[in-house]
Structure 1
Amino acid sequence: MKSRAQEMVPGGRMVLSFMGRRTTDPTTEESCHHLELLANALMSMVSEGLVEEEKVDSFNVPYYAPYPEELKLEIQKQGSFVVDRPEAFEIDSKQHQEGSE
């Protein structure tokens, strides 16, 4: 964030886009949906013989989907930016999946 702040012109704005969650609980199902999609893709690759199942079993994807307030506090804690217009958009992943089949 500090590096980006040096590139900004006075009064400039920046758009940040993140995958996040709506609830304060990081263990909700909505926080893990994209990982389910990844798991399905990997298991398809196993069934096609493209990837060994043992490698999928040992695959680790550290990921944390922030809650909007957490993100805002972290950005402001850095001291380089002020969050003045946070917006959240929901993607209907079921409709998105059906459209790609």
Structure 2
Amino acid sequence: PPTLVVLDIMMPGMDGLTLIRHLKHRQPDVRIVATSGLATYQSAALAAGASAFLPKPYDFRDLLKTIADLLRCPSPTTPLRPCLQRRSTPPSARR
């Protein structure tokens, strides 16, 4: 099973919010980075179980930093909050 998934909210077939819920149901410890060109999906993605949300367009370095932060958590069963405060603001915007 995957440790981390990066997905877009708007996908053909199953939408990203449904996929987030499905993934978290099947594998509660999976880390999910959700992206969308519509920032209005941020709260819905986080509520569905996404570990982080990156609004498009995002800097590729922001995606890599978010992934690194999520993977740095001590174990998949450790709550993500201490490792990453539910990132919703790209790192480049916080500099």
TM-score by length of 2: 0.28
Higher relative contact order (CA closer than 8 Å, sequence separation 6+): 1
Higher share in helix: 1
TM-score by length of 1: 0.27
